[in-house]
Structures are given as C-alpha cells and as structure tokens.
Amino acid sequence: MITDLFSTTVLIGILASGIRLATPYLYAAIGETFSQKSGVLNLGVEGQMLIGSFAAFYVAFTTGNLWLGLLVAMIVGALMGLVMAFVTVNLHAQQGISGIGFYLFGLGLSDLLFQRLIGNVETIKGFEKIYIPGLSDIPGIGQILFNQNILVYGAYLLVPLAWFVLNKTTLGLKIRAVGENPDAADSLGVSVARVRYFTIVLGGALSGIAGASLSIALLNVFQQNMTSGLGFIAVALVYFGAWKPVGVLGGALLFSMVNSLQLWIQVLGIPIPSDIAVMMPYVLTILVLVATVSRVRAPSALTKPFERDE
Amino acid sequence: MKKISLFVTFILALALALSACGAPAEPAVEEPAATEAPAEATEAAATEAAPAEPFRVAVVMPSTINDLAFGQSMYDALVRVQEEMGGPDAFEFVYSESMFVVDDAAAAIRDYATQDFDLIIAHGSQYGSSLQEIAPDFPDTSFAWGTTVDTFGLPNVFAYEAASHEGGYVNGVIAASLSKSNVIGVVGPIETGDAKLYVDGFKAGVTATNPDITVNVNYIGSFSDVALASEAATTHIAAGADVLTGSAQMVTGAIGKADEAGVLWLGTQSSQASLAPSIVVATQVFHWEVVLMEIIALVNEGTLGGQSFEINLENGGEVIEFNDGYALPDEVKTLAETTVQGIIDGSVTFTLP
C-alpha cells in the first residue's frame, strides 16, 4: 500500500492539490509579511479573508462578473485594513487583542450578510482553469503547475514581486526601517504612520483576495466560517518563513503538500488513524519550526506601537 | 526566540482547534437576528380552535439553519411541525445557531430555560454534559438532546438519534449499482457519531451489492474546512472514484468538485440536490418531526422526559429522496426501494464494524 504513494497519479495528485491548497495561504501570508515587516502584527487576517470571500461571492453571484467580485473583495479587505491601521497606528491599541477583535468582527459580519443577502448555500461558476499552450501539455509538470486558475498563478507571481518590493525598492527599505527602528526612520523623515497604514491596507487587500480565491476560484461556494482557521495558519507561516516571501512560500507549500499527502494516505487505505493523519501538517510544521527557529529574528519593532519622543 | 516558537505553536494550535471545531461564538450583533422566529410560516394561520397558548420550542445548534446538513435538518423539521400543528398560533419556535462553543450553547440553553419554553432542544451531541448540569435546575421544563440515546436518567430529558446507517446502506446500494470504475469515495468530517454511523452503513451497502468495489474513505478532521473537503473530493476523483458521498456541512466543497468532474453524489441529513442538480442522485433526508411530534404529545400529557427516540426508515424519520434532475435507471431505483422495504421488514440485515 505504501508503494502506491509513489505512482505517477498519486504524486501528480499530491503536488497539484498542494499547489492549490497553498494559494489562499500565499496571498494572506505575503500580505501579513508586509505588515509585520513594518512592525504591525495583524491577527485579523482570518476575518478579512471571510469578508473578502463573502464580498467576492456576493458580487459574482449577483452580477456574474468575477473580476468585479475580486475587485470588491480587495476593496473591502483594504477597508478593514484601514480601520485596523487606525486602531493600531493612531489609537496605539494592543495589536494581538485588536486583531482577534477584527477576526470575530469579520466572522460575524460575513455570516450575517450571508444569511441576510443570500440565505442558502449556492454555487457559482468561478474562474476556470487556464490552458497555457505548450506548458500545460508537459507531462506531469503541466498537470501540476499549469492546469490551474488565474488566482493560483497570481499567488505564485506575488512571491517574487513581494521579494522585489521589500528588498530592492525605496518603499521596501522604508518598510523594513519602520519595522526595525521606527525612531531612526522617523528622524530621517520617514513617516512611520504612513508606511504602516500602507502595509496594513495592503495586507487587508491581499487577505481579501485570499478569501476571494476560495469563494470564486477554488471552491465557488460561500458558507459560514469557510476559511476555517486558514488565516491563522497564514500568520504562523510568516514566522515560519522568517519574514521572507520565499520562506513563506516554502512554508505554505510544505503545509499544503503534507495536507494533500494525508488525504492520499487515507484514500490509499494506508493504516494510519484519520485523527493522526489530519494532524500531520500541523505537527510537521511545528517540528520544522523548532528545528530552524534559532536563525529567526523578528522585526525589532513588531507589535510595538510607535510614539514619537517629544 | 523561544517566545516566537511558543507563539507560533499557540497560533497553530488555535488554527487546528478552529478548523476542527468550526465556528466559535458569534459577536453580539448577530443575536437578535439569529433568535427571532422565522416569518415564512406566518400565513399558515390556524383555522381550527388553536390552544390558548402556543407550544413554545427553543433550539440550540452548532451550525446554521441553512447548512444543507445537520442544522438544516432540524430547522426544516421545526417548520414542518409548525405547519402540521396549524401555524405560529399553535407552535412557536426560536433558535440559536452557530453555537459551536459549548460554553455559549450552555448559556443559551440556560437563558431559554428561564424563559418559559415548553421544550428546549440541544441539537448537538457535544451539548450533553451541559444539559446534564442544567436540566435538574429546571425540573418543570422539558429538554431534548441529540444525537444520543442517553437521557442521563433525568425525568425531564428526552434523547433522540438517527439510524443514519440505514439510509447510508441504501445510498451504498445505489452507489454500487451506479459505479462503473468500481471505486467509490467518501468525504467525512471526524470519525465519530452520526458521520461514522452513516459511512459504516454506506460501506456495508456497497459491499453487499458488489464486493469488488473499493470504498476509499477520507475523514478530513473538520466540520467546516470546505477547502480541504474539496481537495479530498479531487483526491478521490484522481484515485478513480466515479461516485462520491459524504456527511456534514463542509461537503459543499466536495459536491462542487464532483459537479465539475461529472461524478455522482449521494447525500445525507438534508437534501443537497439544489447545489448540483445534475449529479446528486439521492439524499437520505432526516425528518426529525416524526420524533418531535411524539415528544410534543408527551410533554402536553405531562411527561417531560426519560425516553429516547430514533428516526429510521421504518418510522418515516429517514426518507431517501431521489433528485428528479438526475435520470436514475429504473432498475436501480427499484433496487433502492426494495432495499428500503427490506430494511423496514427485516429481510435486509447487515452488521456494522
């Protein structure tokens, strides 16, 4: 039975599932990387994802326009980010607690709107898989990488883009400076508040897309609490990835691949109790984290509100 | 550095708990909306002399009234009871949904108990120990708890459960008759309770019909992770399955994938035909009103509890509902109907693992 795991069908199945499962994590965790790099821990990701997920679904459901749904998801995610930014930057609220508050707000509001505006679990036609001539036909690799919808491709393109912005642009330098030493950045004329507003709003918009990737691309359905903890895993992946987009990619892929592996383990009848199987991705992620944690250094100003010394 | 790993471990644990348990408490903003009685049955006003006081029921449930699964099965049953009893003048009900946090559910149950309801339904096996604690404090109020057979020996607690393995068996027979690839996939939540009972019955039905068929079972460890349920279905399809089934509210994700791939689906708890009209073959629908009517009659006579009830194929509490949108071959439908008859009259028997 164990040898069944190494057949081509199974390997392609595991890898292609893993690529899809990692998609929402990537959007949310890259967004979170930006906010944490600037010193703000946003625990409200899950709530922003739920709102984005609902908004995208509702717009696509009523208008039939998926792109409009995606845009609205981005906007409502960004708006939630804006409120979060006001609460953490201007009001200096404790970030962990207010983040949990935003999560609960998003959970409740998305469910309330769903009950009032749609009422039943419905399905829509979401973004379809895109066939790329040549690439999609490559045996194996084509099925794994190039047989996905547009939002899956977008998630993976976001990784180098985020790396570039964070490491090769002035904006990235400002973000890192604000997260490492806000006093120094401030004295050099960088507006700490503006940079943090930018990263939190960006994080919100990306969380909105993460939610939309579920409701109008991967699952094409909305139901109550459908993110089911994904947003919190995304926050953990930022730590796992040591605040680097590539690290986040590695973490998201590891977690998702092990998750799709455990699905196959059960399907192939390999005698591991299902309770143990479903724990595998979590346990493995913690193990890798423990093994590599010594090299990790968080942005120095993470979770610390900035107040200019008078 | 220790702090970071501790924090991340905490977050992962939280995520695991969330994904396993579904929705935590809703913020207060939801409350007034969630607890008001539904309006749709108002026009069915009582024509005959209704009792002076309506029979009042409150229900607390872990998921939502429109989850196409466990929660909806109770809500639909209450609506049918209301119709049967002659509208809101004779029968009133309120509900608290999304009560996955047992503490919140316990508080809601206690609140209802102080408010003079005739019957309070704790619709979730996880509410048992809370009910055991609360019920003795309100000896004049009747409580019902499902799915279970345990009334704790309390005189004011009824227990109810579903023989979901019976409909599961019938679904298994249908699935085995329709499968051409001889591979069938099951997407389950957590390997326990009603879901396990259904899946075990389903497997027995498949094996009895065609022992050569492989049934692959996947428990995803969550009642709410739609994304993982969807990938589980994709996995089954990649493994060659051409008929799928599954239990609990996260299967909507799996039904979507089945629909895309043109793979057949058999449902349980509430009708799921609306979600994918072309591939849903049949659903085992729970009709809790069978049990509720009995309980209500007992309460009206002054018996507040101490008995346990079961819905099954025989008493009409479980009905195999065929989806008109799917053209089921006549011989399969006949086979399904004879199987239902056989389970009722005892000529079809099977053992669960």
Both B302 and B327 in one domain: the answer is no
B239 touches chain A (CB under 8 A): yes
Where residue A284 sits, what CATH number does that domain have? Answer: 1.10.3470
pLDDT in tens, B295-304: 999 999 999 9
Q: Do B262 and B302 lie in a common domain?
A: no
Query: CA B236, CA B226: separation in Å to the nearest integer?
Result: 15
How confident is the model over B167-189, as pLDDT tens digits? 999 999 999 999 999 999 999 99
pLDDT band at A291 (very low <50, low <70, confident <90, very high): confident
On the question of pLDDT at B5 being above 70, the answer is no
Q: Contact B138/B113 with Cβ under 8 angstroms?
A: yes
**Is residue B33 scored above 50 in pLDDT?**
no
B152 in a structural domain = yes
The per-residue pLDDT for A310 is: 56
Q: Is B11 contained in some domain? A: no
Domain that holds residue A109: 2-125+141-295
Q: Identify whether B75 is part of a domain.
A: yes
Please report whether residue B351 resides in a domain. no
Report if residue B353 sits inside a domain.
no
pLDDT range class, residue B46, cuts 50, 70, 90: very low
The predicted pLDDT at position B2 comes to 53
Locus of tokens 């060659």 = B240
Looking at B41-127, list the stretches that DSSP marks H as alpha helix, in order from N- to C-terminal side.
70-85, 102-113
B224 chain-A contacts, CB cut-off 8 A: 224-226, 228
Cβ contact A279–B221 (<8 Å):
yes
Rounded to a whole number of angstroms, the distance between the first and last alpha carbons of chain B is 48
In angstroms, the CA B304 to CA B297 distance is: 10
Average pLDDT over residues A7-33: 94
| pLDDT score, position B47 | 44
- pLDDT > 60? residue B50: no
Considering the domain boundaries, does residue A131 fall inside one? Answer: no
Average pLDDT over residues B110-139: 93
Work out the pLDDT band at B30, boundaries 50, 70, 90.
Answer: very low
Q: Which pLDDT does position A245 carry in this prediction?
A: 96
* Choice among B18-27, B150-159, B225-234 with the minimum mean pLDDT: B18-27
Ramachandran quadrant class, B87 (left: phi over 0; alpha: psi -120 to 50; beta: rest):
left
B39 has pLDDT over 90: no
Q: How many domains does chain B have?
A: 2
Q: Is the per-residue pLDDT at B36 higher than 50?
A: no
| A300 domain-assigned | no
Helix (H) or strand (E) holding A194: helix A192-213
pLDDT at A294: 65
Give the pLDDT band (50/70/90) at residue B42: very low
B225 and B274 in a common domain: yes
Report the pLDDT value the prediction gives residue A184, as an integer from 0 to 100. 92
CATH of the domain at B213: 3.40.50.2300
Question: Is the confidence at residue B127, as pLDDT, over 90?
Answer: yes
Looking at residue B11, what is its pLDDT? 62
Query: A201-221: per-residue pLDDT in tens?
Result: 999 999 999 999 999 999 999
Whole-angstrom CA distances from B110 to B94, B116, B157 are 14, 11, 14
User: Do A107 and B66 lie within an 8 Å CB cutoff?
Assistant: no
| Average pLDDT of the segment spanning B249-269 | 94
Q: Smallest CA–CA separation between A120 and chain B, in Å?
A: 6
Mean pLDDT confidence for B111-138: 93
The answer on pLDDT for B15 being more than 80 is no
- Answer yes or no: is B209 within a domain: yes
Q: Give the residue carrying structure tokens 């707000």.
A: A105
Mark yes or no for CB contact A218/B227 under 8 Å: yes
Same domain, B277 and B293: no
- Same domain, yes or no, for B138 and B197? no
Q: Which residue of A has its CA nearest to B196?
A: A274
Chain B residues with CB under 8 Å of A260 CB are: 231, 235
Claim to verify: residue B265 and residue B328 sit in the same structural domain: yes
The yes-or-no verdict on residue A127 having pLDDT over 50 is yes
- Are B111 and B171 in a shared domain? no
Q: Which residue has the tokens 């949904």?
A: B97
Number of domains in chain A: 1
Q: Is the model's pLDDT at B163 over the cut of 70? A: yes
| The pLDDT of residue B22 | 43
> Are B69 and B96 members of one domain?
yes
Q: A180-194, B45-59, B123-137, B264-278: lowest mean pLDDT where?
A: B45-59
B337, containing H or E segment: helix B330-345
> In chain B, what percentage of residues exceed pLDDT 90?
74
ipTM over 0.85: yes
Asked if B101 and B25 count as a contact pair (C-beta separation under 8 A), the reply is yes
The per-residue pLDDT for B24 is 37
Strand pairing class (B91-96; B119-123):
unpaired
Query: Of the candidates A75, A54, A72, A71, which has an alpha carbon nearest to the alpha carbon of residue A225?
Result: A54
- Window 266-325 of B, Cβ < 8 Å to A: 274-276
Q: At what angle do helices A45-63 and A66-85 cross, to 10 degrees?
A: 150
> In this predicted structure, what is the pLDDT of residue A303?
87
Residue A304 lies in a domain: no
Residues of B within 8 A of A120 (CB-CB) are: 66, 68, 274
What is the average per-residue pLDDT within A57-80? 97
B244, β-bridge pairs? B185, B265
Residue A264, in any domain of the structure: yes
Residue A249's alpha-carbon distances to A49, A169, A246, in angstroms, are 19, 21, 5
User: Structural domain of residue B134, as residue ranges?
Assistant: 21-162+288-311
Residue B193 inside a domain? The answer is yes
* Residue B12 confidence (pLDDT) above 70: no
Query: What pLDDT does A290 receive?
Result: 82
Cα nearest neighbour of A289 on chain B: B5
Distance CA B255, CA B272 (A): 9
Q: Are residues B156 and B202 in the same domain?
A: no
- Specify whether B137 is located in the same domain as B54: yes
Q: Which of A74-88, A258-272, B35-49, B133-147 has the lowest mean pLDDT?
A: B35-49
* Contacts B231 to A, Cβ<8 Å: 17, 20-21, 259-260, 263
Looking at the partner chain, which of A115, A221, A266 has a beta carbon nearest the beta carbon of B256?
A: A221
Query: Which residues lie below 8 Å from residue A252, measured CB to CB, with a gap of 6+?
Result: A22, A25, A26, A29, A237, A241
User: Could you tell me if residue B350 is inside a domain?
Assistant: no
AA letter at A112:
L
Q: Which of A122, A144, A224 to probe the B interface (max B CBs under 10 A)?
A: A224
Q: How far apart are the C-alpha atoms of B127 and B103, rounded to whole Å?
A: 9
Determine, yes or no, domain membership for A40.
yes
- How high is the pLDDT of residue A275? 87
- Contact state of B18 with A20 under an 8 Å Cβ cutoff: no
